[in-house]
Amino acid sequence: MAATPAPLSLSASALSARLRLAAPASRAASARRRGPMVVRAKIREIFMPALSSTMTEGKIVSWSAAEGDRVTKGDAVVVVESDKADMDVETFYDGIVAAVLVPAGESAPVGAPIALLAESEEDVALAVAQAQALSSGQAQQAPPPSDADAPPPPSPPPAAAAPAPVAAGTKGVATPQAKKLAKQHRVDLAKVTGTGQFGRITPADVEAAAGIQPKPKVAPPTAAAPVAAPSVRAVPQASVLPPVPGATVVPFTAMQAAVSKNMVESLSVPAFRVGYPILTDKLDELYEKVKPKGVTMTVLLAKAAAMALAQYPVVNASCRDGASFTYNSSINIAVAVAIDGGLITPVLEQADKLDIYLLSQKWKELVKKARAKQLQPNEYNSGTFTLSNLGMFGVDRFDAILPPGQGAIMAVGASKPTVTADKDGFFSVKNKMLVNVTADHRIVYGADLAAFLQTFAKIIEDPESLTL
């Protein structure tokens, strides 16, 4: 019978001694795993923020804080021009503005560092050195793209051409036309070496094996094919128009670039347009009454559109994924406003729930902020339906381009005296305006839009409900 090993026992003093010896060793091992302790200076980067969903880069309008200024969390340090407005950018930390990486007047992509913030005066020198390293790093990164462009992709073709002879040993693999010719001329395909792609036997290989002289007409087609290929590849280059002699090229501002991008995106939407004539005599009378109280015609039209949209929510909806309806819980009327260097659409939120006097006050504030480029993102990107009014310029009719993310936009022309006939055949002169609506045909159908316009026309022609 095997002997049982004696149990191990340690006295309290021996155990304590072993623990004391093990503790320094475990701390040393832990220190080795963590690596040497390094005290780093606290230098933080101020990044270019994304001030709107469509913003890809921003332009520095001005720096509110100069290098060397001490700032606290929440202070505005820089004014950035986005694609829609000029906005103050606040800092999230306390510190000293050690280095400005992007001066006023220059642009930077969203997420790029535009300044360095040092926590204390002792860290300023290190931040300045870091800024110089960043700027030199950007300068060194500029040449590689040009070097990468220098070796064009002609080098791969030689490598691709090499496999053809290597695969030439594949015998008996022939094209259907080559098999047909081999049968006609009694050529053994096993004895023919193919010169086609991957060693495939071509009709020319069979004719050569049969001793048939190649036809001279075969050369022109091969010459014609390359001629067609370059012409196809040259089409994309033709889209870049040559410069006009004596012309001055002015690049888009951030806002103009955003408008251009949105207009191009709208071309992918299957839109259709419906026009409707509306008598405005009673609306003109109401306008003369409320005008002294600060109510504009734009507000009256926006209120009428909101009331009609409440009855036809599909016109207030949108198609964002190409496969579903998005019904908006709020009716927010965006109104196109021309400003210096672009176009913006301030939004009258909850337009169906506010009276015309509150809407007018809000509209004046929005227009003032839009002219000063001080609109907040929710004040210009939350629209569910857009109104564009050129009637004040005497334009009698026009079509508006559908903004991305919305289901419809209304274009309002001028109200002009027009000869009309009533149901009894009597002629009279009445004021009439033409309204055109552009809608997304994926979600809004002709009958929906016609019914909406009929309701809108009834509200305009009997506008007492606008004052309730």
Q: Are residues 74 and 186 in the same domain?
A: no
Nearest to 88 by CA among 56, 60, 67: 60
Strand 333-335 vs strand 385-389: parallel, antiparallel, or unpaired? parallel
pTM to 2 decimals?
0.60
The predicted pLDDT at position 43 comes to 84
Bridge partners of 272, per DSSP, are 439
Q: Are residues 70 and 202 in the same domain?
A: no
Q: Compute, in degrees rounded to 10, the torsion defined by CA atoms 365, 366, 367, 369.
A: 90
| CATH number for the domain that contains residue 105 | 2.40.50.100
For residue 51, tell me if it sits in a domain.
Answer: yes
Q: Spell 124-153 as b/e; 16+ CB within 10 A means b.
A: bebbbebbeeeeeeeeeeeeeeeeeeeeee
Is the pLDDT at 32 greater than 60? The verdict is no
Bridge partners of 97, per DSSP, are 117
Nearest to 436 by CA among 420, 453, 458: 453
**Which residue is it, tokens 């009439």?**
432
Q: Are residues 330 and 440 in the same domain?
A: yes
Catalytic residue among 200, 441, 442, 458: 441
Find out whether 386 and 436 touch, Cβ atoms under 8 Å.
no
Q: Are residues 294 and 398 in the same domain?
A: yes
| CATH number for the domain that contains residue 412 | 3.30.559.10
Q: In the chain, helix, strand, coil percent, each to 5?
A: 40, 20, 40
Bridge partners of 434, per DSSP, are 277
For residue 341, tell me if it sits in a domain.
Answer: yes
For 79, the 3-state DSSP assignment is: strand
Q: Are residues 200 and 309 in the same domain?
A: no
C-beta neighbour count of 30 within 10 angstroms: 9
Q: Are residues 77 and 191 in the same domain?
A: no
Residues 6+ apart with CB under 8 A from 355: 467, 468
The predicted pLDDT at position 254 comes to 77
Region of poorest pLDDT, from 48-57, 94-103, 113-122, 402-411: 48-57
Q: Which domain holds residue 111?
A: 43-135
Q: Are residues 412 and 337 in the same domain?
A: yes
Residues 6+ apart with CB under 8 A from 398: 390, 411, 413, 436
pLDDT tens by residue, 290-348:
999 999 999 999 999 999 999 999 999 999 888 899 999 999 999 999 888 788 999 99
Is the pLDDT at 227 greater than 50? The verdict is no
pLDDT tier for residue 53 given thresholds of 50, 70 and 90: low
Nearest to 356 by CA among 372, 376, 380, 333: 333
Is the pLDDT at 38 greater than 50? The verdict is no
% the chain with pLDDT above 70: 76
The predicted pLDDT at position 430 comes to 94
% the chain with pLDDT above 90: 36
Q: Are residues 119 and 182 in the same domain?
A: no
The predicted pLDDT at position 149 comes to 45
For 341, the 3-state DSSP assignment is: coil
Q: Are residues 64 and 200 in the same domain?
A: no
Is the pLDDT at 263 greater than 90? The verdict is no
The DSSP code for 326 is: B
Neighbour-count burial of 173, counting CB atoms closer than 10 A to its CB (0-12 exposed, 13-18 middle, 19+ buried): middle
The predicted pLDDT at position 218 comes to 45
For residue 291, tell me if it sits in a domain.
Answer: yes
- The last residue of one of the domains, among 71, 105, 135, is 135
Question: What is the total residue count of the chain?
Answer: 468
441 is catalytic: yes
Q: Are residues 346 and 431 in the same domain?
A: yes
For residue 247, tell me if it sits in a domain.
Answer: no
Separation CA 324–CA 318 (nearest Å): 9
For residue 361, tell me if it sits in a domain.
Answer: yes
Find out whether 253 and 420 touch, Cβ atoms under 8 Å.
no
pLDDT tens by residue, 151-202:
455 444 444 343 344 333 444 577 777 788 888 787 888 888 888 766 778 8
Separation CA 340–CA 85 (nearest Å): 11
What total number of domains does the chain contain? 3
Is the pLDDT at 221 greater than 70? The verdict is no
Averaged pLDDT, 10-34:
47
Sign of CA dihedral 297, 298, 301, 307: negative
C-beta neighbour count of 323 within 10 angstroms: 7
Region of poorest pLDDT, from 70-74, 296-300, 361-365: 70-74
What Rg value do the Cα atoms of the chain yield, rounded? 37
**Which residue is it, tokens 């021996």?**
14
For residue 163, tell me if it sits in a domain.
Answer: no
The predicted pLDDT at position 40 comes to 53
For residue 54, tell me if it sits in a domain.
Answer: yes
For residue 264, tell me if it sits in a domain.
Answer: no
| CATH number for the domain that contains residue 190 | 4.10.320
Find out whether 317 and 328 touch, Cβ atoms under 8 Å.
yes
- The last residue of one of the domains, among 80, 114, 135, is 135
Q: Are residues 303 and 441 in the same domain?
A: yes
Q: Are residues 112 and 205 in the same domain?
A: no
The predicted pLDDT at position 8 comes to 41
